[in-house]
A and B are shown apart, each in its own frame.
Chain A
Amino acid sequence: MPTRPRPALSALFMGFVTIGLSSFGGGLTAWVRREVVQRRGWLDDQQFLSGYALSQLVPGATNVNLAVFIGTQLRGVPGALACFAGLTFPPTIIACTLGAIYFGMHGMPGGESLSIALGGMGAVAIGLNLGTGIRLARRGIRKIVPALIAATVAVSVGIAGLPLIPVLGVMIPVSLLAAWWASRAA
């Protein structure tokens, strides 16, 4: 097993401050992978993906879970707190400030253009998610069975709109069986 890096708590905190502040419109996973795998090399893709899948299985906001998971893995309780605080505190302050402005003055002028621009940013944010999927698939999927498993999950949840939990309830055992089979054959 490769030795895992032990980043400073301040680096974890700042890394997740960056993630929290640069993610708009729900493309957060793309930013977590970019910061944690691509730029800082704290985890490799497989560690990141297993953490991501586990974070989805535990209830709660996936990316907050992922931050706690990564922090715990790298530095235990203090690491979890550093990642959690970094990810959530600055956006909370911003949200409360925006909320206070909104509650203070209903119907701001220029609000229409703002919401159009925000719609465009949201459309890009969705593209960031999909682009991350392409990047991960190009590196991580080498065989036909895992490709079929990934495609089944993507289509049944993302297009057919099936609820995530039953889909995972079927596909995780299937994937475990396939991985176990492959490891025996190897």
Chain B
Amino acid sequence: MTTLWQIFWLFALLSMVAFGGGAGVIPDMQRGAVETYRWMTAKEFLDLFAISRSAPGPGSMIAVLIGQKAAGLAGAAVAFVAMFMPSCLVVHFVAKGWDRAARKPWRAVVEQALAPIGIGMTFASGLALAQGTEHEYVSYAVTATATLVFAFTSINPILLLAAGGAVMLLAGV
């Protein structure tokens, strides 16, 4: 039972400070799971990170895997609730307030102002990910090609992903 509480508080707190997305709190997750609570070794944490990146869906799925390692399926469920519920409640109320302002002139101004911010953040997340993962020449080439193909054609991204995996296997990086 104490482990479940520890899981709950770790992820509920991290959920509330995860400004700019879940990736920023990964180091804090590692500190909590490996050093503070000793649920796993550093190597196991890295493996779980790789698994969460390779599985589809939000990157924060690593929280579920940490919970699963610490306390089985109950731990996974607690981590899921703690990681997602607090921030989802906040965003729900923000969205409702946004809705009530539908006819206010300031909302149009705010929408116009947030558009270039959102575009800048889209580029920033891609650029930061490219720097964060150990990128070699081949992977930079793959990223650049995928960027251009996706921007200027309407190809299904699944095909691009499959091609990326195949290229890397053939290149034997």
Contact = CB atoms under 8 A, between A and B. Distances in A.
B88 interface: yes
A8 interface: no
Contact of A80 (B61, B69, B88, B123): B88
Contact of B64 (A49, A51, A96): A96
Contact of A59 (B18, B122, B133): B18
Contacts of A147: 116
A98 interface: yes
A122 to B, nearest CB: 6
A176 B87 CA distance: 25
Interface residues of A, number: 108
Contacts of B65: 95-96, 99
A110 B109 CA distance: 54
Interface in A88-115: 88, 90-92, 94-96, 98-100, 102-103, 113-115
A128 B146 contact: yes
B113 A22 contact: no
Interface in B141-173: 142-152, 157-158, 160-169, 172-173
Contacts of A64: 58, 60, 84, 87-88
Contacts of A98: 51, 54-55
A109 to B, nearest CB: 16
Contacts of A176: 109-110, 113
B96 A129 contact: no
A88 B57 contact: yes
Interface string B40-77: 00000001101111111111110011001100010010
Interface residues of B, number: 100
A9 interface: no
B27 interface: no
A185 to B, nearest CB: 12
Contacts of A124: 142-143, 146, 157, 160-161, 163-165
Interface of B: 15-24, 47-48, 50-61, 64-65, 68-69, 73, 76, 80, 83-84, 86-88, 90-92, 94-96, 98-99, 102-103, 105, 108-131, 133, 135, 139-140, 142-152, 157-158, 160-169, 172-173
Interface of A: 1, 20-31, 34, 45-47, 49-65, 68-69, 72-73, 77, 80, 84, 87-88, 90-92, 94-96, 98-100, 102-103, 113-138, 140-141, 146-147, 149-154, 156-159, 161, 163-165, 168, 171-172, 175-176, 178-180, 182-183
27 contacts: A21-B56, A21-B57, A28-B58, A49-B114, A53-B114, A57-B19, A60-B88, A61-B58, A65-B91, A92-B80, A95-B61, A115-B54, A119-B173, A120-B168, A127-B160, A131-B150, A140-B119, A141-B116, A146-B115, A150-B120, A153-B120, A157-B120, A157-B127, A161-B128, A172-B113, A176-B109, A179-B112
